[in-house]
């Protein structure tokens, strides 16, 4: 009985590795996006805390603090806007990777279906061959019995 050997197995293995690599890249992009969101939240939280501190000060020191705060806010807003642009770029890359993963998955699934069909065909052929061998053995035994050979 011969072993099942599928000619496209290497291609299926390559497609699986490609999908795994794309999935790892997607995870890395997601981690980068999470880090950027965290930095943005930190910047916004720092602004809120400084604003709350200004609210607790008395009138004379508050005015000078507000002036410094307003110049500082412009810089922080620019930083937050830069982080937002970078986040948007990462989001578009993430969407591209997601589409690539879906295409790779579709290709892999198609190859897996082909492999399953080849396996089913192999099993049917083996079963047919086994039946033929059994029929031949039975026919030979019946012929020997009829001819008087034992």
Is 93 inside a domain boundary?
yes
| Distances 14 to 19, 25, 67, 96 between C-alpha atoms, Å | 9, 16, 61, 20
Is 2 inside a domain boundary?
no
- Number of structural domains in the chain: 1
Give the pTM: 0.72
Is 79 inside a domain boundary?
yes
pLDDT band at 132 (very low <50, low <70, confident <90, very high): very high
Is 129 inside a domain boundary?
no
Give the tens place of pLDDT for each residue, 93-104: 999 999 999 999
**Structural domain span for residue 78:** 9-110
Long-range contacts, 115-120 (Cβ 8 Å, 24+):
115/6, 115/8, 115/9, 115/12, 118/4, 118/6, 119/4, 119/6
Is 41 inside a domain boundary?
yes
């Amino acid at each position: 009985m011969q072993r099942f050997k599928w000619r496209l197995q290497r291609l299926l293995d390559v497609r699986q590795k490609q999908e795994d690599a794309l999935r790892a890249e997607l995870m890395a992009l997601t981690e980068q996006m999470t880090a950027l969101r965290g930095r943005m939240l930190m910047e916004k939280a720092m602004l809120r805390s400084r604003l709350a501190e200004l609210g607790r000060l008395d009138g004379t020191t508050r005015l000078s603090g507000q002036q410094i705060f307003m110049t500082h806010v412009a810089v922080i807003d620019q930083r937050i806007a830069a982080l937002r642009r970078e986040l948007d770029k990462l989001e578009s890359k993430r969407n591209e990777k997601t589409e690539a993963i879906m295409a790779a998955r579709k290709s892999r699934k198609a190859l897996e279906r082909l492999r399953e069909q080849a396996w089913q065909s192999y099993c049917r052929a083996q079963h047919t061959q086994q039946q033929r061998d059994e029929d031949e053995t039975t026919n030979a035994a019946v012929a020997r019995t009829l001819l008087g050979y034992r």
